[in-house]
Structure 1
Amino acid sequence: MISFGPMSITLLLCAGQGLVLAFLLLCARRNKTANRFLALLITAVAALITPYIIGYAGFYDKWPWLSFAPFSYTLAFGPLIYFYALSLMDRLPTRRWPHFLPVLFQFLADAIVFPLPLATKNWWDGFAHAPVISPMLEFATLISMAAYGIAALRRYRLYRQWLADNRTDGVDFDPSWIRNFLIALALVALIWLGFMAANLINPARNYFDQFLLYVVFSLLVIYLGIAGWRHGETPFPAFRMEPEKPGRSDVEKPVMERDWTGRGKNWLREIDEAEYWRDPELTLTSLARRLGTNTAYLSRALNESARENFNAIINRRRVAAIQQWLSSPDEARDLMTLAFEAGFSSKASFNRAFADFAGMSPSAWRLKSQKQRALESV
């Protein structure tokens, strides 16, 4: 008899909500490739939950031929995790299909057995699937998730450093969602590993004992759907590493013989004289082009001369200019007008940079300047 009770309804509602969110991700206008990977990941997790939804409702008791229906695509989790994170930050590799060969074999392991007679399926389950194949696929899934997750985390760290070194508006493209996405999956993998260990210790455990694990999977589906949809149209800048080609001023000496500190000071002087920092579209690449060098040389010279990265050097000058303007008694322009005049492209990047370099908010600094002028006039 089919009966949807609290266990099956709980999982059904979560999986259904996840599929709705996956559909919304597919409709997003930006980050289309990334959102497709995330939608596929959510769908794969929902598919993993499906046998427990119908199992708790009595489907397998009424229709035992449903056993070995191919619902499990867990070996796709790792590649989908990696390609989702990578497609938000950088170019994808051209050959992606080899990464999904393991999940094809996983699908075939069930699909080949599914149409066989029930007696044959029961024999195969007791002989090979339950004691060998199923645990092997679970361990392979966790190993795959760990390997791809570590690769994604390494790329995330490089990307975060690249934002700080190459752009002044990195706060507008905060990639923390990618880190949180990886942390959530790591926590689920650890819980999954704990349930696998419990099953090995006590083989008598049945699928009712797995309910809490599939609640965790259900919560993961909802989290990925909601948080992924919220960030689905965030325009993360593409990670680009420029080849170290010498510019017009970089050809006279071998790299090891260059005076990076002196060169950096010269470039800082040129930045100040030309007020390049007032350009809201300024990046390390565009600045290197103006100075006749490349990003690798410019970044090294600036770091060695100023002991700061590109982001700090440019935003420090923008904040200093605004502080100077605010010190004038005739300055009546609003703060955002000053911010845009100094080269900031958003309120978020302006407020963050001002707090970092002035130690207070822009409005607090303006009030402080006004009080100082009032005291000086007494």
Structure 2
Amino acid sequence: MTLYLGWRVAILGFASLQLLLLAAVIAVQTPNALANRLLTAFLIVLVGVVTPYTIGFAGAYDAWRWLTFAPLALTLALPPLLFAYTHALVRGRLPPRFGLHLLPPMIQLGYTLTCFALPLDAKWSWYTGSHARFVSPAFELALLVSLGLYAVWSLRLLNRYRRDLAQARSDDDRFATGWLARVIVALVAVLFLYAAFTLWDWLSGGIDFFQETGLYLSLVVIGLYLAIEGWRHTTLRFPVLDGAAADPTAVETPVVPDWIAIATDFDTRLRQAGWATEPDLGLQVLARRLATNTGRLSRAINLGLGVNFSSWINGVRAEAVAAALDTGSRDDLLTLAFDAGFSSKASFNRAFQARYGVAPSRYRRGVSDRDFRPPLPEMRRAVR
């Protein structure tokens, strides 16, 4: 029987080849090695999910019916692998009890292998009968539930990481925004795609092979995006945080210290030494220089200044830029920002706006305005 190499086969086949090549490149990158291996596994599984449709559009199942139930599409492995990738980036390890996360895809694999081993007549009878009526809808429902749960868990993980990172790093926006959020968006996009096509299938009484073309074209587009962006982020080391230093009440002492006085001392020493000009200044490094521990420093910042670590350091940097503007500096704003220790234009604008309530450019124009009144010198309290 003749195979048909139409446009669907060409697009899905070429995209699958690209995904496998990118997976191979990502797998050998040593920074973030665990996360990279998990992303590689996700991409390989995604190619497996797409492959039955690629060969199906070519007519392979008509030519070789024994391919029915070929153990290629482990859809239930996609959500936990993508969640584990995110977890490995921000925590440096697999999620707790990760073996349990892989139990549903292992059940799916065991079921598929069992059905694949059946005699051809029995296999086809099962495929068109009980599998189509009961098992396949059950797996579809399980996938939707899994996608929803892992999207929620990933969002919680990201929110905790953002909170902890703001307590431990002054360049937290380099890591807490962007890529990790887009991974979650991709997970949610897959959820909506599967939900839409599943709902269409259930309401219409069943859609055929070709009507699902849009689903699998969308999946390879999402996969290629994750693969390319994942490859771009293979060398970016996300600070591994356990959250212990971020909790201002983690350690209780019999006598309540004067956190305002302690924080004022830390703040004075930071300014005198000029440490805030270091773009990657972190909680641990600063604690060593101040001859204290991260827990005490974190509590002093939270309870004494009313802000988190990132807001404190970036507030000091914003004050340095404002001081330069007050003295009439004509340097470019971005030059002043980088000299003060900011690592990006976005973080500079955000921190300056939070500290002074106006954009840096507006502040510069106001310096020459006799009616301009800069905000009070007290640092604004950050939302915790």
TM superposition score normalised by structure 2: 0.81
Give structure 2 stretches of 5+ with no counterpart: 370-384
Task: From the superposition, tell whether residues 56 and 280 of structure 1 become closer, same or farther in structure 2 (CA, over 3 Å).
Answer: closer
1:5 aligns with 2:6: yes
CA deviation string 1:215-238 (max 9, x = no partner): 221222222122222222222211
Q: Which residues of 2 match residues 134-283 of structure 1 at below 5 A?
A: 134-242=136-244, 253-254=253-254, 257-283=256-282
In structure 2, C-alpha distance between the alignment counterparts of 1:259 and 1:142, rounded to whole Å: 52
In structure 2, C-alpha distance between the alignment counterparts of 1:182 and 1:348, rounded to whole Å: 22
CA deviation string 1:256-302 (max 9, x = no partner): x4443444334334434554434555322333344454434433432
In structure 2, C-alpha distance between the alignment counterparts of 1:312 and 1:244, rounded to whole Å: 13
- Indicate if the aligned counterparts of 2:168 and 2:246 stay in contact, CA closer than 8 A: no
Task: From the superposition, tell whether residues 29 and 130 of structure 1 become closer, same or farther in structure 2 (CA, over 3 Å).
Answer: same
In structure 2, C-alpha distance between the alignment counterparts of 1:245 and 1:122, rounded to whole Å: 59
Give structure 1 stretches of 5+ with no counterpart: 373-378
In structure 1, C-alpha distance between the alignment counterparts of 2:17 and 2:199, rounded to whole Å: 29
SS of 2:72's equivalent?
A: coil
Task: From the superposition, tell whether residues 244 and 21 of structure 1 become closer, same or farther in structure 2 (CA, over 3 Å).
Answer: closer
What residue number does 2:32 align with? 31
Task: From the superposition, tell whether residues 171 and 201 of structure 1 become closer, same or farther in structure 2 (CA, over 3 Å).
Answer: closer
The two structures, once aligned, show a CA RMSD in angstroms of 3.3
Query: What is the CA-CA distance between 1:89 and the residue it aligns to?
Result: 0.7
TM superposition score normalised by structure 1: 0.82
Task: From the superposition, tell whether residues 281 and 199 of structure 1 become closer, same or farther in structure 2 (CA, over 3 Å).
Answer: closer
What residue number does 1:319 align with? 318
Query: What is the CA-CA distance between 1:325 and the residue it aligns to?
Result: 4.7
Deviates more, 1:273-282 or 1:57-66: 273-282
- Indicate if the aligned counterparts of 1:175 and 1:236 stay in contact, CA closer than 8 A: no
SS of 1:4's equivalent?
A: coil
From 118, 121, 138, the counterpart of 1:119 = 121
Query: What is the CA-CA distance between 1:354 and the residue it aligns to?
Result: 5.2
Task: From the superposition, tell whether residues 348 and 190 of structure 1 become closer, same or farther in structure 2 (CA, over 3 Å).
Answer: closer
Task: From the superposition, tell whether residues 209 and 339 of structure 1 become closer, same or farther in structure 2 (CA, over 3 Å).
Answer: closer
Query: What is the CA-CA distance between 1:174 and the residue it aligns to?
Result: 4.5
In structure 1, C-alpha distance between the alignment counterparts of 2:316 and 2:195, rounded to whole Å: 51
What residue number does 1:375 align with? none
What residue number does 2:48 align with? 47
In structure 1, C-alpha distance between the alignment counterparts of 2:180 and 2:366, rounded to whole Å: 39
In structure 1, C-alpha distance between the alignment counterparts of 2:327 and 2:189, rounded to whole Å: 54
- Indicate if the aligned counterparts of 1:242 and 1:294 stay in contact, CA closer than 8 A: no
Query: What is the CA-CA distance between 1:181 and the residue it aligns to?
Result: 1.2
- Code of the aligned partner of 1:310: F
SS of 2:102's equivalent?
A: helix
1:308 aligns with 2:307: yes
Matched-pair identity in %: 35
Aligned length: 365
Deviates more, 1:174-183 or 1:338-347: 338-347
SS of 2:234's equivalent?
A: coil
Task: From the superposition, tell whether residues 75 and 175 of structure 1 become closer, same or farther in structure 2 (CA, over 3 Å).
Answer: same
In structure 1, C-alpha distance between the alignment counterparts of 2:246 and 2:210, rounded to whole Å: 59
What residue number does 2:372 align with? none
Task: From the superposition, tell whether residues 139 and 325 of structure 1 become closer, same or farther in structure 2 (CA, over 3 Å).
Answer: same
Task: From the superposition, tell whether residues 310 and 97 of structure 1 become closer, same or farther in structure 2 (CA, over 3 Å).
Answer: same
